[in-house]
Amino acid sequence: MRDQTGFVLLPGRLSPDEQADLLACVLAGARDAPFHVQTTPGGKPMSVETTGLGPLSWVSDRLGYRYEALHPLTGRPWPPMPPLLETLWAQLVDPAVPADAGLVNLYRPGARMGLHRDEDEADFTFPVLSVSLGDTALFRLGGLTRKAPTRSLRLASGDVCLLAGESRLAYHGVDRVIPGSSRLVPGGGRINITLRRAAPLPPLAMPVLSR
């Protein structure tokens, strides 16, 4: 499904086996790059726990929002991007220019994400690709301003969506996660992985528009 703003939803894009394999990669990476609670620049702790995959990941603290090559607690590089995610990006976004940042958010009971938009990347040509694992999320999608009308969508385990076109800079968030709607994540909850192209393109690199 693609709407008039360019938002794309692919329900069940990942098979149960692919979901299990991807979850295993995420949890293995989290042993070296542990999930942790980040804070906003104002010092407020977020309700999700976060880690990363790939060359870069998004971080937030009193210094602001940005991308970093090292885990803020361990000082070590983020785990490599799983091949399944690299393939998914190549199929849905761009086979020539890889995603260089994978942000992984863990939603335990009560966690949510307020309305925000992803605008810390160097090039908005590339969509944000989102993969859901585990419990179903009530995802809220708005427009280009905070006051724009919003709508609610359910994102279940294995669903993939793209914030592309006009929706690339749309405000969005997670109102809540439905406990017990999946048995995939140990201890319950939801894992959301968002792939981005965060760094500037190298000279002469030409992006391919999302299909």
47-75 per-position pLDDT tens digit? 999 999 999 999 999 999 999 999 999 99
Taken in order 167, 170, 176, 177, the sign of the CA dihedral is positive
Q: What is the greatest pairwise CA distance in the chain?
A: 48
162-171 per-position pLDDT tens digit? 999 999 999 9
Amino acid at 64: G
Rounded Cα gap, residues 54 and 78, in angstroms: 6
Rounded Cα gap, residues 79 and 77, in angstroms: 6
Question: For residues 130 and 1, which has the higher predicted lDDT (pLDDT)?
Answer: 130
Confidence of residue 209 (pLDDT cuts 50, 70, 90): low
- pLDDT for the residue numbered 208: 60
Percent of the chain topping pLDDT 70: 96
Q: Which domains does the chain have, with CATH numbers?
A: 8-196 (2.60.120.590)
pLDDT of 106 > 90? The answer is yes
Question: For residues 110 and 210, which has the higher predicted lDDT (pLDDT)?
Answer: 110
- pLDDT for the residue numbered 1: 81
pLDDT of 211 > 90? The answer is no
Q: Which pTM does this prediction carry?
A: 0.93
Question: For residues 4 and 50, which has the higher predicted lDDT (pLDDT)?
Answer: 50
- pLDDT for the residue numbered 2: 85
- pLDDT for the residue numbered 203: 74
